[in-house]
Each structure stands twice: as C-alpha cells, then as structure tokens.
C-alpha cells in the first residue's frame, strides 16, 4: 500500500478509526439509551436536572436500544413522507480505563447522516457521512468532567454522553435524495466504547500477494500509529498463523514511532493456502506493540488470492475461470430499517450463500464491517462503493465528502480478501440535484476518484455502473441492461449483453431482474411481451422506472407477478451457462428494500425486485437461483403461495419444478406423470415441467427428485376454480390463524355473485381499533396497512394483546367490512 494517503483534517480530535480493536477492551453500548425524535434548543436541554411534571421534563424521551434508526417504520408508512431531520440520543456511561494514561474512544461503526458528540456540554467530535466508520477521543473531556464533583455525584460517577444525528435533506451531501433508497437517520450501526494505551495502532494495512499459479506469495505489513502522547519507541511483534492454526512465522522489531505510516514486515511465502469461494482459507495476523505506555494487540484475518479481469474475456480467480454469480445488498430490513442487528446480517448473508452466491455488490455505500467479515469467512467476492449515486455533481463540500468516504472505505476495509472492486459511483449520468449538469466536470471528478483509489490501493480494480460517458475512465464497467423489465424482451438478454461486452475492455453486468409482488401469481404472465417493442436495446432510460407514460414495458404494463419474474430469471440463468466470455452478473437485489421514490408500488415505498421480502420471506424466485447455482440436492414445486389456480374445466395447466437434480418424477393427485431429465437449456424450469388437468376443487402435487443416489421430495396442494368472475363488488374479512398472541387476518375480493375475483389488484387499506395493534409499516406483502391485492386477497397480522380488537378493511368503490377479533382460538 502506498503511503501518500489522501489526508483529511477534522475539527476536534476525531480519528479515522482503527480497523480492529482488542475485543477485551471494546464494549458495545447497546442498552440504556434515551431517544428524542426532534431537535433541542441546545445541549443543556439534554442534561438539565428535572423532576416528573416539571416544565424541564419535556420534550419526552423514549427508551431505545442500538443499533437504531428513527425511520424504522415511517420509511414505509404509506400515509406520509419519512422523517428527515435531527434527533438526539443520550445515556450515561461508566468509564474505567485499564491503561495508565490510556485513551478512551467512542468508535462509531456508522451513524447517519451528520453526527455531533457531546460529553457533558462539551462538543468532542463531529462527522459527516452515514456509512463510513469513525472514532472520537473523549479522554480529555472525561477528565475535565470528573473534576466537577457536583456533576459526578449527580450522575453517580458515570459520564453523560449525548449524540445528535441529522438526516435532513442537503444537496451538498452524498448520497442524493434522488437515490432509490431511504437516507436513514440515527445511530444505525454499533457504537463501541474502546480503551487503548497512550500508544496504539490506528490501522494495520496487510497486503498478501500471490501469483496466478499459487506458488509464490508475499506478505507486506504497514502500521499507522495513534500516538497522542508522543511515545517515541515501541517493540512490534507480528505472528502469521495459517488456516489450520499453525504458526507460519514470527517477527519482532524495535521501532522509533513515526507520524506517518511505517512498513513493518515483508516476507515471502511458498504455496500459501489460497482463498476462494469454495475454500475461503483465512490466515490470522497477530500484531502486538509494547511500549512504555503499555501493550496493545490486534488480530487481522487475511487471505491470499490472485484475480484477473481478462481483457475482452471472463474473470479468473487463482488462475481459473470463475463465473461471478452475484446479487446486491442494501442495509434494510422490516421493522428496523438500516439498523440491522448482527444476527440479522448473519442470517441474510447465509441466505445468499444458500442460493449459491459467490459475489455481492454492496449498494450503494460502505456497509457494516460485519458484512465484510462474513464475506471473507463464507467465500463471497465483493464490489463495495461510495454513495455518489445520481443527482449530478455538487461543490467543494460535496466533493470533499466523496473523497473522504472513498478514502475511509478503502482504508477501513483494505484487509478483506473478499473485496476485489472499489466502486466510484452509480448512475452518475442521472441529473436533477443541481441547475448545472456538466459531463466534463463529472468526468474530471470521476478521474480524480479513480486515481485516488489506485493510489490508496493499487491491487484492486475500480468500477462504476451506468454512466457511459465515464466508462473509459475506470477499470471495469457495468452498463444498464434490464432485458424484459424496463426495456425489451428477456429473450434479448444475451445479444444485448454481447454488444455491451464488446464495447469495453472489462465488462461486468450488475443490476438485472424486475419487481414481483409476493404472493401474486398468473396463469399467463408473459402475455404482455407481445406488446413490447424489441430490437432497441434493454438499457433503462429516463422515465422507464415511472408507472406512467412512454412506450409499453413490463415494468409499467406487466402484472408484477412472481410467475413472470421466475420466467425472466430462469431465462437469464440458462443463458449465462452458455456465455463463456461472461465475467458474471449480479441480480438486483437480494431483498426488497424501502425507497421514498416508489409510493405507488403494490407495497408502497418498497422496491420489490428482491427474491426475498424485507422480513426474509422467500419468494418463488429464490428457488430458481438455488436450482442453477447450488450442488446440494433440492427440489421446489412452483406455487407454494398460490392457493387457488383458475381456468376452464378440462384445461391443462403447467406444473414447474425448480431443482438441481438429474431427473425428477411428478405425481399429480396421486398418479405418476412420468420421469423427466433436467436440461438447463430446456426452458422453462430446465425441462422439469408437466402439463396436468386439475380437478375442480382440491389438487395435490408431489415431486421426487434424484441425483447421485440421493432423493428429495416436495409437495404442495391447491384449489382449482372454474367459475368465471365479474367486476369486484364486495369483500370478506376472516381470521385464518392465531398463534402466540398474533392473529392473521385475510381479506378476499368477490364479484356480485360471490365468485372470488382471482385477478383483482385493488388497493385495500386495513384499519384497527382496540387493545392490540396492527403489525404494519413493515414494507412486506403481509405487513402493510395499504397494499395491492395478490390474486384477489391480502393478509395482515395483529398483535391481539389478549384483548378486544376490531379490524376493518376498505377499498375505493367497494363497501368496507369489519371483523371482531376473538382471541384464544387457533385456526389452522
């Protein structure tokens, strides 16, 4: 790593941050927080003594735990815009630094979007940027506070900490409010109290290199000090441990502590264990420094791998071609917004691995260190980027933030072997935030960021997505290709991709797919394609994401069914298996996420392109990926969330099975319909499809799939409706389940003749009065008070609190209905 880093000067004593701390001296400050969703007149309002009922007791604070965002529900509230403004957090902390003369730090893993930190009434640090990590040294402020005997007594020996966050709209910040995701506010990642000696390591930069044969490896280690006490000398001991736990080599060195970065170790390694998606071999580098100030030790996980984007060709890892099978991730989840817990993050990344993902683009900002640690451990390659996303280019403040966030992202995540690409931006051809949109100025700044990235990290590639007038600047380029969604027919995917591939030296296609309203299915999902123009490319253009105007396109005129999206995905994945020149792709995104730009979607304010919902509920498309990208035997019959199919009496219907088996046998209503062999090029469902003639009423489906002497089964059942329906005329509301104090309520739409309208897409609005509460504002198909019907029905859940509750549902032009919820009865 080069040492002429882009240096940022902060007011107050604010550090960039260490990239690792000794865990025994780092504590997460998760509990005992009070929160206020508004601004204060000044810091004294957070601290002044008061008693219940006195004027000083207002405004009222609420108890919260970290991580926390104050947009966890209103980001997807269909009735209002989400809150963008200041908020406050406060608590008292116990300070017991074990180091004589040591430093006490607050390490923010992410706070959004502008943050100010106070100890007592003293402003000790501030930060702009919602996604990069930062640390503030509170040592002097704590020392001064402890001199105030009256205050120390009032706070029982603890130290008052107050934090102001602010996600107000600001054109001179990134990301833009035109970005297709919420700009969350709050302390939305973990906050740590950290103790270090007066001399400690701020960062360790480890550069493991290996040739493409895997025979010759080299390790270089640089240190950056944190030395406010100006300690002059230290002993540095470094130990490299291989993936099996054996010591490879130990190195000690006496050094004079310098203010700039120092190289501490260079060593050659013969035939190191290589890191790869199939075998993510991780070494451990232990660094211990000992000085008159004490001992400080940190550990870093590292990996040896060699990668190459072949010019006009595929991607190679460790000398062999690897198809990048990817997806995308936003930090966003039902009920918590961006403030995902470590457990939730682990669940999500493991679900990605479950479908065979070996590559993730982290969109569109630096993400939690937990994510990167998991990618290292599970073998998932990464494209990580800064949030220069849409809107144009601002002034000096705007550009300074972009430079700083790029620097922080690279330095903070430098040691992760999973990362292969640093992203400079996304959709930078999209104007709107400024009166001026100057392509040459954008090119100039893009070139500056590209140079800065290579200066900080010469060993990784740079990339952008969708900005054709900058594609010659960066190393790897992804155009916009949305075949079968925003433009064209999905069967144009290969030819459009090939044309784009030939236009650049290094091509990687990220972002493809389409929206699907979970639980909505169709008997003829592809019928819209007959009306869509083809032969004009598949790039998303201005206005294509709108639900109004322009040419016919699936995104505007299709049915948004799961049935259509599984066909689109199935076609893409089958084609990718024959594209030997392809580096790889990344489906957009893995999980539905909130966005203020899509208020009229079936689930308002949610981008519904995910293959799982915001609460991890799997859509049908999840299993399509799994059938192509995994080896462990699996089989899934399409339609688990499709309780009623429809058609004429005696009409044949297709049953599709998504499986990675060699062959499968289908049983319909107990009768075998024969064995079929899987062929990835036999669309749809790789040939595992059967035509059946359903009975009116109940039908059963079972599949037995075989591979390598093993077998696996799956089964579903459905009703078949032959009655024809008219226009929607009435609704019925029913409690269909109650479990652990949660009642599930379903509304169904009928015509005037009491026939269920299975293609009804009306919006319905749930309401409630009583002792319990609706589980709403979750941004899911079953967790939104306003939602489009899926096949003439919709579900919501209610926490009954074992009391009296009435649920209502309304829809424009349809009489409202109400249901008195009786608790205690389990209905299967």
Handedness of CA 610, 613, 619, 623 (dihedral sign): positive
Buried b (16+ CB within 10 A) or exposed e, 496-505: bbeebbeebe
Question: What's the helix, strand, coil split of the chain in %, to 5?
Answer: 15, 35, 45
Structure tokens at 204: 């360790």
The alpha carbon of residue 737 and the mean position of all alpha carbons in its chain are separated, in whole angstroms, by 32
Q: How far apart are CA 48 and CA 173, in angstroms?
A: 33
* SS3 (DSSP) at 512: coil
CB 114 within 8 A of CB 169: no
Strand order in the sheet with 307-309: 307-309, 315-317, 320-321
Q: How far apart are CA 357 and CA 323, in angstroms?
A: 10
DSSP 694: P
Handedness of CA 167, 170, 171, 173 (dihedral sign): negative
Angle (CA) 796-798-804 rounded to 5° is 135
The three-state DSSP-derived secondary structure of 313-351 is CCEEECCEECCEEEEEECCCECCCECCCCHHHHHHHHHH
Q: How far apart are CA 419 and CA 19, in angstroms?
A: 15
CB 287 within 8 A of CB 318: no
Q: How far apart are CA 347 and CA 653, in angstroms?
A: 36
Q: How far apart are CA 590 and CA 775, in angstroms?
A: 23
Active site residue: 427, 562, 575, 613, which one?
427
Strand order in the sheet with 773-774: 730-739, 742-750, 793-799, 773-774
The alpha carbon of residue 437 and the mean position of all alpha carbons in its chain are separated, in whole angstroms, by 30
326 phi, psi to nearest 5 deg:
-125, 175
Residue in the structure block whose two tokens are 């309520």: 745
Q: CB-hemisphere CA count at 13 Å for 527?
A: 6
Q: How far apart are CA 781 and CA 797, in angstroms?
A: 11
Write out the E strands in 660-799: 663-668, 671-677, 689-692, 697-707, 710-721, 730-739, 742-750, 763-770, 773-774, 786-788, 793-799
Q: How far apart are CA 342 and CA 419, in angstroms?
A: 20
Q: How many residues does the chain have?
A: 828
CB 178 within 8 A of CB 597: yes
Angle (CA) 562-565-571 rounded to 5° is 140
Whether 427 is catalytic is: yes
Residue in the structure block whose two tokens are 């569109």: 364
Q: How far apart are CA 337 and CA 460, in angstroms?
A: 31
Q: How far apart are CA 178 and CA 197, in angstroms?
A: 44
Structure tokens at 113: 């979007």
Structure tokens at 230: 């100006």
Structure tokens at 288: 């211990």
* E strand or H helix at 297: strand 294-302
CB 652 within 8 A of CB 693: yes
Q: How far apart are CA 386 and CA 402, in angstroms?
A: 7
Q: How far apart are CA 700 and CA 272, in angstroms?
A: 54
Show which residues are catalytic. Answer: 427
């Amino acid at each position: 790593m080069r040492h002429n880093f882009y240096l940022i000067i902060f007011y107050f004593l604010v550090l960039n941050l260490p990239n690792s701390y000794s865990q025994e001296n780092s504590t997460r400050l998760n509990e005992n927080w009070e929160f206020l969703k508004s601004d204060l007149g000044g810091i004294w309002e957070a601290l002044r003594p008061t008693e219940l009922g006195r004027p000083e007791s207002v405004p009222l604070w609420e108890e919260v735990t970290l991580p926390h965002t104050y947009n966890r529900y209103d980001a997807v509230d269909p009735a209002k815009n989400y809150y963008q403004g200041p908020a406050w957090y406060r608590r008292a902390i116990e300070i017991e630094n074990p180091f004589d003369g040591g430093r006490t730090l607050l390490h923010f893993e992410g706070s959004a979007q502008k943050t100010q930190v106070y100890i007592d009434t003293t402003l000790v640090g501030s930060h702009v940027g919602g996604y990069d990590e930062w640390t503030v040294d509170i040592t002097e402020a704590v020392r001064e506070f402890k001199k105030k005997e009256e205050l120390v007594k009032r706070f029982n020996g603890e130290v008052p900490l107050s934090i102001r966050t602010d996600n107000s709209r600001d054109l001179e910040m990134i990301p833009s409010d035109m970005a297709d995701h919420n700009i969350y506010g709050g302390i939305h990642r973990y906050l740590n109290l950290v103790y270090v000696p007066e001399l400690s390591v701020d960062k360790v930069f480890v550069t493991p290199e290996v040739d493409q044969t895997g025979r010759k490896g080299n390790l270089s280690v640089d240190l950056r000090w944190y030395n406010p006490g100006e300690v002059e000398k230290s002993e540095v001991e470094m130990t490299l441990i291989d993936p099996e736990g054996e010591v490879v080599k130990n190195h000690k060195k006496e050094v004079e502590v310098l203010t700039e970065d120092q190289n501490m170790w260079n060593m050659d390694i013969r035939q190191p264990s290589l890191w790869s998606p199939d075998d993510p071999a991780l070494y451990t580098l232990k660094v211990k420094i000992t000085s008159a100030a004490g001992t400080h030790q940190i550990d870093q996980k590292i990996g040896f791998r060699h990668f190459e984007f072949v010019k006009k060709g595929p991607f190679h890892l460790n000398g062999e071609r690897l198809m990048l099978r990817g997806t995308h991730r936003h930090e966003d989840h039902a009920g918590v917004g961006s403030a995902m817990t470590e457990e939730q993050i682990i669940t999500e990344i493991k679900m990605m691995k479950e479908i065979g993902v070996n590559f993730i683009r982290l969109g569109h900002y630096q993400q939690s260190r937990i994510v990167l640690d998991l990618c290292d451990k599970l073998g998932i390659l990464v494209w990580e980027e800064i949030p220069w996303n849409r809107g144009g280019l601002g002034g000096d403040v705007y550009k300074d933030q972009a430079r700083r966030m790029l620097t922080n992202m690279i330095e903070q995540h430098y040691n992760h072997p999973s990362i292969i690409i640093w992203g400079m931006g996304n959709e930078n051809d999209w104007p709107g935030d400024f009166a001026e949109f100057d392509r040459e100025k954008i090119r100039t700044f893009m070139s500056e960021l590209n140079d800065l990235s290579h200066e900080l990290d010469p060993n990784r590639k740079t990339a952008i997505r969708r900005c054709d007038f900058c594609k010659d600047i960066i190393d790897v380029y992804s155009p916009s290709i949305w075949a079968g969604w925003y433009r064209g027919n999905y069967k144009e995917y290969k030819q459009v991709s090939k044309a784009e591939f030939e236009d650049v030296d290094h091509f990687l296609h990220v972002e493809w797919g389409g929206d699907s309203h979970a639980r909505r299915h169709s008997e003829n999902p592809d019928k819209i394609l007959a009306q869509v123009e083809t032969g004009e490319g598949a790039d998303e253009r201005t206005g294509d994401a709108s639900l109004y105007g322009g040419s016919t396109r699936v995104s505007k005129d299709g049915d948004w069914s799961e049935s259509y999206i599984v066909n689109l995905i199935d076609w893409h994945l089958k084609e990718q298996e024959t594209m030997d020149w392809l580096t790889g792709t990344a489906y957009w995104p893995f999980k539905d996420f909130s966005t203020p730009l899509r208020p009229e979607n079936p689930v308002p304010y949610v981008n519904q392109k995910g293959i799982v919902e915001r609460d991890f509920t799997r859509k049908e498309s999840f299993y399509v990926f799994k059938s192509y990208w995994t080896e462990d035997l699996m089989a899934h019959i399409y339609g688990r969330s499709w309780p009623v199919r429809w058609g004429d009496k005696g009409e044949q219907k297709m049953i599709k099975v998504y499986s990675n088996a060699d062959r499968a046998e289908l049983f319909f209503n107990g009768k075998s319909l024969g064995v079929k062999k899987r062929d990835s090029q036999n669309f749809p469902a790789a040939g595992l499809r059967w035509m059946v003639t359903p009975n009116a009423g109940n039908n059963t489906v079972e599949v037995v799939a075989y591979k390598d002497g093993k077998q696996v089964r799956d089964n579903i059942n459905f009703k078949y409706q032959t009655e024809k329906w008219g226009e929607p005329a009435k609704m019925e509301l029913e409690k269909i389940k109650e479990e652990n104090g949660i009642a599930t309520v379903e509304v169904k739409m009928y015509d005037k003749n009491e026939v269920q309208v299975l293609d009804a897409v009306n919006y319905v609005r749930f309401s409630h009065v009583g002792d319990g509460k609706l589980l709403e504002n979750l941004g899911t198909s079953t967790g939104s008070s306003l939602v489009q019907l899926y096949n003439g029905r919709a579900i919501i859940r209610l926490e009954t609190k074992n009391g009296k509750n009435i649920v209502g549902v309304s829809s424009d032009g349809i009489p409202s209905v109400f249901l008195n919820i009786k608790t205690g009865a389990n209905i299967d």
